[in-house]
Amino acid sequence: MNSAATQIRVVLIRPTHPGNVGAAARALKNMGLERLYVVAPAAFPHVEATARAAGAEDLLAGAVLSPDLDAALAECHYVLGTSARPRHIGWPMLEPAEAGTRLVDESRRGPVALLFGQERSGLTNAELDRCHALVQIPANPAYPSLNLAAAVQVLAYEIRRALGLPEQPRSEESEAPPASANEMEHFYRHLEEVLVDTGFLDPANPRLLMRRLRRLFNRARPDQNEMAILRGILSAVQRVTRKS
Amino acid sequence: MNSAATQIRVVLIRPTHPGNVGAAARALKNMGLERLYVVAPAAFPHVEATARAAGAEDLLAGAVLSPDLDAALAECHYVLGTSARPRHIGWPMLEPAEAGTRLVDESRRGPVALLFGQERSGLTNAELDRCHALVQIPANPAYPSLNLAAAVQVLAYEIRRALGLPEQPRSEESEAPPASANEMEHFYRHLEEVLVDTGFLDPANPRLLMRRLRRLFNRARPDQNEMAILRGILSAVQRVTRKS
């Protein structure tokens, strides 16, 4: 993580809307990245950038403001460009997931860069010329151009996935152990008794009722606490039916 | 594609910032989705929403404005919630890629919903109670909360990716269509009545009983035949309790 966080530079080239710069900073911090470069922005720093950074002001304040792309790419040994167009003859095209893997991989050998062009026009030919490969986010062909910060978010997400970080603690589906097969059988017998008591199940003509209920409750896989609740409900019903 | 585009509802609950609603609309259109639901927004329609939609004004104009979550979820047979917190006991937790596959898969059987809570607070307990599973976007533990539209973007991206995957063979678990969100709500109300009638549930001290039962039955995902059986059982019990 440390290596990728400090070696992967996300470079926004001539961004028009300062809000996008702030939102990109937030996306990077959310995904555990740290290095934002801003090349020749229309307006930056800017109050809108700060507002949209919302908690990532530190990352925004540490952004490297660069007059040209050369300065932002100095020391980088691998440069990946983003493109909304389906093909650029001469560049390998990567899927976002491949791009994440590749950037993480290359970042182990030194600084790498991921370039985002201007909102409307994308990367210029001169900027494309700096790239080793291009990545395209799959999109609706009728409306393929993502918001700049949204594109940063998707690729930062793929970088984080590629890092294969230890996951955040996974939720256990349930705190109690699952009901055992025995407990399930006791439950089904109890349920059947109650269904007969209430008149819902006719023992002379049971049809497939119990089988269907078994399928339903087996799918739910009750844990032991839930089983205690279910048994409690059955007993409460029986207290009424057997009294009446 | 068509099925997912029209059957997957993205539901923003009580969004505070209209800009996020517009940006979410753009993210959906970029990813080829079409159905945006907005529940009890702070301000919508709004000039900021329109500005951020930037080319997705059609999708924004077609957004369904709903006073409450019930109306937005009616007919949905599968509901997935988003969470920035790592664990919620009792719900299966999905990775974003799994969530995309699951939503696409379930969308082939009817409408499904992906819920996003309010920007600051996320989903409330009552909203979580409507969910069959939760999805968490892996994030920096020190700063895990993504911007609302950024989270919509990541999950819409995973849905689009999943659409490109071969269809999952359906299990034969159930031949009948799944119970809808509305039918589940009627069932829970009926169940609660019966539990009160039998004395198992004390309305003055309900504790977490209904929540636990919701989780159990949401996991089981009853189909419409099973739902008819469950409702029949409840009615049979009521005939006894109300007679006695």
pLDDT in tens, B131-159: 999 999 999 999 999 999 999 999 999 99
Q: Is residue B148 a contact partner of residue B20, using CB atoms and an 8 Å limit? A: yes
Q: B171 lies in a domain?
A: no
| Domain total of chain B | 2
Q: A170 lies in a domain?
A: no
Q: Quick one: A192 exposed, middle or buried, by C-beta within 10 A (0-12, 13-18, 19+)? A: middle
CATH number at residue A222: 1.10.8.590
Same structural domain for residues A80 and A142?
Answer: yes
- Which residue ranges in chain A fall short of pLDDT 50? 1, 166-173
Q: A140 lies in a domain?
A: yes
CB contact under 8 A, A26 and B150: yes
Helix (H, G, I), strand (E, B) or coil at A72: helix
Same structural domain for residues B156 and B43?
Answer: yes
Q: B174 lies in a domain?
A: no
Same structural domain for residues A39 and A88?
Answer: yes
Q: A169 lies in a domain?
A: no
Same structural domain for residues A143 and A201?
Answer: no
The sheet with strand B133-135 has its strands ordered as: B64-66, B35-39, B8-13, B112-116, B78-82, B133-135, B93-94
Segments forming the whole domain that contains residue B132: 2-163
Same structural domain for residues A99 and A132?
Answer: yes
Residues of B in contact with A217 (CB under 8 A): 220
Q: B219 lies in a domain?
A: yes
Q: A173 lies in a domain?
A: no
Give pLDDT, residue A172: 43
Domain termination residue (choose one: A162, A192, A221): A162
Same structural domain for residues A92 and A210?
Answer: no
Torsion on CA atoms A214, A218, A221, A227, rounded to nearest 10: 20
Q: What is the C-alpha R_g of chain B? A: 19
CATH number at residue B112: 3.40.1280.10
Same structural domain for residues A129 and A32?
Answer: yes
Residues with Cβ within 8 Å of A15's Cβ and at least 6 positions away in sequence, in order, are A21, A38, A41, A42, A44, A116, A118, A119, A148
Give pLDDT, residue B185: 93
Same structural domain for residues A151 and A50?
Answer: yes
* B97: pLDDT strictly greater than 90: yes
Interatomic CA distance for residues A88 and B109, integer angstroms: 39
Q: A167 lies in a domain?
A: no
A54 touches chain B (CB under 8 A): yes
Residues with Cβ within 8 Å of A217's Cβ and at least 6 positions away in sequence, in order, are A184, A187, A188, B220
Domain termination residue (choose one: A127, A162, A197): A162
Interatomic CA distance for residues B219 and A222, integer angstroms: 9
Same structural domain for residues B145 and B26?
Answer: yes
Same structural domain for residues B47 and B129?
Answer: yes
CB contact under 8 A, B233 and A200: yes
Same structural domain for residues A148 and A231?
Answer: no
CB contact under 8 A, B150 and A239: no
Return the structure tokens found at A219: 């799918």
- Considering chain B, what is the average pLDDT of its residues? 91
* B164: pLDDT strictly greater than 90: no
Closest approach of chain B CAs to the CA of A157, in angstroms? 8
Same structural domain for residues B159 and B185?
Answer: no
Give the ipTM: 0.81
Return the structure tokens found at A151: 């594109």
Q: How many CA atoms lie within 13 A of B159 on its CB side?
A: 34
Domain termination residue (choose one: B98, B129, B163): B163
How many Cβ atoms sit within 10 Å of the Cβ of residue B71? Answer: 13
* B81: pLDDT strictly greater than 60: yes
